[in-house]
Structure 1
């Protein structure tokens, strides 16, 4: 499919005025509250983005209004679909207003990344990215096209928020953005990076699964021994650089966990598989662990029908031969060699460069368990680690109600950690109140209470 190269003007009322020699496929709402479009990040590789303006936006030069860039997991998960309608956008999958939308605290940009995810697509299967770094390069190209011609966005500090595998994209993107800024290629202020239940160190997560489930009585000694055996095999494969083999063993380990736990939910170990309220609301299947994009064909509204139906009609610029999620499986397959690689060193480098790094984790998540997150944090070479680990934690509540503890918080210098109680993998949905307050604090929103 060919694309027309020409100057484009996007949106109205000055919110997103974008002029670029990129492909001419863009649109927005008449009042300027939303804008969306495609950027050709490489020849015949097209990335889709969607930007929302917060109704609470405050124009204050002394306290700039922030922008959140949301990166979904998978790899192959659609931020434009799942993150937007399933988690933090203004509307839910029933197109009803979401009371806990993060737009209360910031503008939000959703991106379908890597190319092939959601509404993003490639015209040649050879163009799928194979590494986290390649994905970050494409995202940086997109940000250059959008930010370098937009003074309003340049004044708005960008906070990269990620969920699940998106955390690996976030830290590699953060470093790529810093380099582009240093070289004068990108006009952007990086406010920080926030890693939500993020797959930063696969080794530490798989090693945590068996012991965690045994401690909460979800597996027995036999299941623990079989789980630990496979986890140690993965550890050795990673040490030997056998990353694709480690990915295959990871899949085998998930099967063992499911067998000996009687199908525990990987997104909430208090539930059985498929009972997660987030999965139920979006009708997403078990394959969500790999792509976020498979949809169960069940009665009632589901994310696939929504995105390929009314949302597609609203956007008006999706090519006729592109289906939302149609290439997502290929995205995961192309990255099989990078899937199990750790990105702890990238977190260290961000901290060294003075970037604000925040981690938040749901208490009952299994796939990216807090136990595993705490394990990889101890591997940081950051010079503030020892002091951080010896600090006390501050309890978190929902608003002024201090009758129930909703979480804990600890920070030192440019590193912070939020423990969110009662939440699984999808923190913004399962604990919306404390999550929203957390976001306000992270992005230093003028609207935070």
Structure 2
């Protein structure tokens, strides 16, 4: 038998080895930035903008990257949360809708008197890693599948609620525009079917949505000819362009259909005779060489806001938030490339699903009347053909006037949980072009006065 002294010595050595091993394990976990759960929350600076209250963070998702979110609470806790996600080809909303017109600060970092934060808690999320301040672990590994993307957003919302527990019972509305609908719609469905969030999610707002883009395109020739931008030959050229796009979609050649679709601005201006037309805001006067950047949307936004998004967010905002070593919107091209195979797939059935299966969730579609890409006649083509329980009643309902301070800012039509708003003097970025009309629309729907 071993002596008692020898047993004690072995015990001491074993304890040292175990302690050392644990120490090495902890060192390795810290060094490699590993963690046991699917995500962790990295809280950023929270007192960098004077009297404006906010909190911001990265939700670090294992093997994916960091998703940035920025929360501005309203002065009253019982207000709804308005969640604003980013899209695929446009500007991130941490810049565009935040500083462009809806957030509490303007581009000079002065308090905005008419911010939506008066009526809503605003939660801006750079939803796709590689866009905005969000970063991806692998620039060449970008998910475009609905399930994975929604998984990441669900982790982000869990991260947000854990850091903001007093808002966990607040009504939640998702607001998106353009191709942000590709993220907003499946996220709404997941939230509605998840018992943890099904009581929170109350509605979905989609502006100038990319939901059935090939079908909407079939009305573009008619739309531009009626406005006098093209003649009969131009309309014929655009209709041929539209037919080619629809044919590619019908054959499930979605990559080729995307390439065709995003060349629309160049085609309309070079082949259909509508010289210098900005399809995102057709009344804007532009030069012949201003039609690039996906329908002219990005160039229009830069001129409208009179600032460079990347330099502003990197040079002014990032240091105040304590974000270092960042290139804002660094991998947007990788995100666009990843979504090429799914961008043109119609998602009308998902809207139908929400309307039919979650009647307590409002679906509000709104359209700027000066957007040619998601033109209003084209949007109504798929909306009026949807298969849902209230389809006939919706089409039979009266269109009402949206009057604000005795000015006609638009019109709306409603039946049960579906609303459609025509927004006057607004293009693809309707929330910025006619902020007051969109503000009134949001308040009408969220107050449940329309339900």
Gaps of 5+ in 1: 8-18, 276-283
Residue 93 in structure 1 maps to residue 97 in structure 2: no
Residue 339 in structure 1 maps to residue 350 in structure 2: no
TM superposition shift of 1:292: 4.9
Cα separation, partners in 2 of 1:442 and 1:27, compared to 1, 3 Å: farther
1:128-277 matches, cutoff 5 A: 128-147=142-161, 150-179=164-193, 181-182=194-195, 184=196, 186=197, 189-259=200-270, 260-273=273-286
Cα separation, partners in 2 of 1:289 and 1:86, compared to 1, 3 Å: farther
Partners in 2 of 1:296 and 1:154 — Cα distance?
36
Partners in 2 of 1:294 and 1:397 — Cα distance?
27
1:11 aligned residue: none
Partners in 2 of 1:293 and 1:270 — Cα distance?
14
| 3-state secondary structure, aligned to 2:422 | strand
| TM-score, structure 2 normalization | 0.84
Gaps of 5+ in 2: 1-29
TM superposition shift of 1:149: 6.3
Paired residues in the alignment total: 413
Partners in 1 of 2:212 and 2:199 — Cα distance?
28
Partners in 1 of 2:32 and 2:391 — Cα distance?
49
TM superposition shift of 1:369: 1.1
Residue 46 in structure 1 maps to residue 57 in structure 2: no
What are the Cα deviations for residues 88-126 of structure 1, in whole angstroms up to 9, with x where unaligned?
Answer: 111222323333321121010001121111111112124
With CA pairs under 8 Å and 6+ residues apart, which has the higher RCO, 1 or 2?
1
Cα separation, partners in 2 of 1:196 and 1:267, compared to 1, 3 Å: same
2:55 aligned residue: 35
TM superposition shift of 1:338: 1.0
Give the CA RMSD over aligned residues: 3.0
Cα separation, partners in 2 of 1:199 and 1:21, compared to 1, 3 Å: closer
Partners in 2 of 1:149 and 1:187 — Cα distance?
20
Larger radius of gyration: 2
Larger proportion of helix: 2
What are the Cα deviations for residues 309-349 of structure 1, in whole angstroms up to 9, with x where unaligned?
Answer: 11011110x241x2111111111111111111111111011
| 3-state secondary structure, aligned to 1:405 | strand
| 3-state secondary structure, aligned to 1:28 | coil
Partners in 2 of 1:442 and 1:3 — Cα distance?
47
TM superposition shift of 1:220: 1.4
1:13 aligned residue: none
8 Å Cα contact 2:265-2:296 kept in structure 1:
no
Report which stretch shifted further, 132-141 or 170-179: 132-141
8 Å Cα contact 1:117-1:328 kept in structure 2:
yes
Partners in 2 of 1:292 and 1:114 — Cα distance?
18
